[in-house]
């Protein structure tokens, strides 16, 4: 996973944003994102918390978190049925980002 962010550091925030949308963001990653908010503000020339900055940069609409939650909720039940194990939220976030945003 570390290779995923080597040349695309912002991708880490997009993945985290999706995890936050499905209520699966771990406290350590959330703390990292919060701590990096001033650098994001400086890099993109906008004010806000890390979630707002990601949403602005990616042009995410306000309805997107609810849509992602529905996809996660519906998909994790199907995944568990078909695979006999719980779906991995981190894997979901990465696949969702890659498929919908081209690895940001």
What's the domain count of the chain? 1
Helix (H) or strand (E) holding 11: helix 9-21
Mean pLDDT of 14-29: 98
Residue 36 structure tokens: 């990096």
Model pLDDT for residues 24-63, shown as the tens digit of each residue: 999 999 999 999 999 999 999 999 999 999 999 999 999 9
Query: Domain residues for 30?
Result: 2-101
Burial (CB count within 10 angstroms: exposed 0-12, middle 13-18, buried 19+), residue 53: buried
């Amino acid at each position: 996973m570390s290779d995923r962010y080597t040349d695309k550091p912002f991708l880490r925030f997009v993945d985290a944003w999706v995890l936050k949308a499905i209520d699966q963001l771990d406290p350590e990653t959330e703390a990292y994102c919060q701590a990096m908010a001033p650098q994001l503000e400086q890099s993109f020339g906008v004010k806000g918390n890390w979630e707002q900055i990601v949403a602005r940069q990616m042009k995410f609409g306000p309805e997107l978190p609810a849509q992602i939650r529905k996809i996660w909720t519906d998909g994790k039940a199907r995944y568990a049925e078909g695979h006999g194990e719980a779906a991995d939220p981190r894997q979901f976030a990465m696949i969702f980002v890659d498929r919908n945003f081209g690895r940001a």
